[in-house]
Structure 1
């Protein structure tokens, strides 16, 4: 995928923790919807394609782990698609945030996958990777630092 240079580079400033959390809350609703849809399809597959009885669905490690993997993969695909397309998810749009390279370009798929992986790690450490914004002079989170990107606030209008 070809990267493109964003506009409003001089007017943008590093995003603080509050805006990031606001965007995460909004995106949390989208993630929940994605998880519900994936779970319904997963259940229907095991029930109707594999013929499992309702009582047996989710009883084996295969059932459980296949669902967990699918949930992570589909949410990661949502973020990769959003970040490569325009640098923002729907929640980021609402809070006027954009993720971009340090030079102001759209992210590569590799950078997005790195961001996703480090984002999961940041959440698993009780949000420490995002709280890092409070201590970093450039207001970078762990996903920003490791993927060599930045999350910026766009001006109004």
Structure 2
């Protein structure tokens, strides 16, 4: 079933969306970390994997929770919304189930571990699926022509 006006979201658009999401998370996380741990948190020569319970909640639980909630209710994070992209079931094109979305989040770790190869895979895959998408049975789609206005030259 091919839907006119939709395309698979490619590597660079998804990388841009991830950058937007990262900046938004940092705008929330860094002030919280600073208010609890101070600047010493960033000065440690041998940083601990987790500085304490608040660090674990702020840097691991909060981003996971926010991401999955956005995926379930909006089918996208703010970065994906900015590029008019959304996550759908790879077979039906319908909403991905909460179980698929949770699995997709956990599968990010598999995609990241071999030097990010599972994320870079998006650039080469026919359906633009990363390993996390393949494992969860999802694809990221976006509307075509998402710019403010199509290009139109009067003299051509």
Question: What is the TM-score with the length of structure 1 in the denominator?
Answer: 0.72
- Return closer, same or farther for 1:122/1:66 CA change in 2, 3 Å cut-off: farther
Aligned to 2:56: 69
Of 122, 126, 142, the match for 2:115 = 126
CA distance in 2, matches of 1:62, 1:27: 22
1:64 aligned counterpart, secondary structure: coil
Q: Greater relative contact order: 1 or 2 (C-alpha under 8 angstroms, separation 6 or more)?
A: 1
2:51 aligned counterpart, secondary structure: helix
CA distance in 2, matches of 1:146, 1:13: 20
Q: Does 1:137 align with 2:130?
A: no
- Structure 1 unaligned runs (5+)? 1-7, 45-53
Number of equivalences: 137
Alpha-carbon contact 1:14-1:139 (below 8 Å) kept:
yes
Alpha-carbon contact 2:110-2:132 (below 8 Å) kept:
no
Q: 1:74 deviation in Å?
A: 0.9
Q: Does 1:28 align with 2:22?
A: yes
Q: Does 1:110 align with 2:99?
A: yes
CA distance in 2, matches of 1:80, 1:148: 16
Deviations 1:107-155 (A, max 9, x none): 3222222111122332343321111113322221111101101001223
Deviations 1:25-72 (A, max 9, x none): 11111121232255257x27xxxxxxxxx9xxx9xx796253453221
Question: What is the TM-score with the length of structure 2 in the denominator?
Answer: 0.72
- Return closer, same or farther for 1:110/1:38 CA change in 2, 3 Å cut-off: farther
Aligned to 1:12: 6
CA distance in 2, matches of 1:84, 1:63: 28
Q: CA RMSD in A?
A: 3.0
- Structure 2 unaligned runs (5+)? 147-156
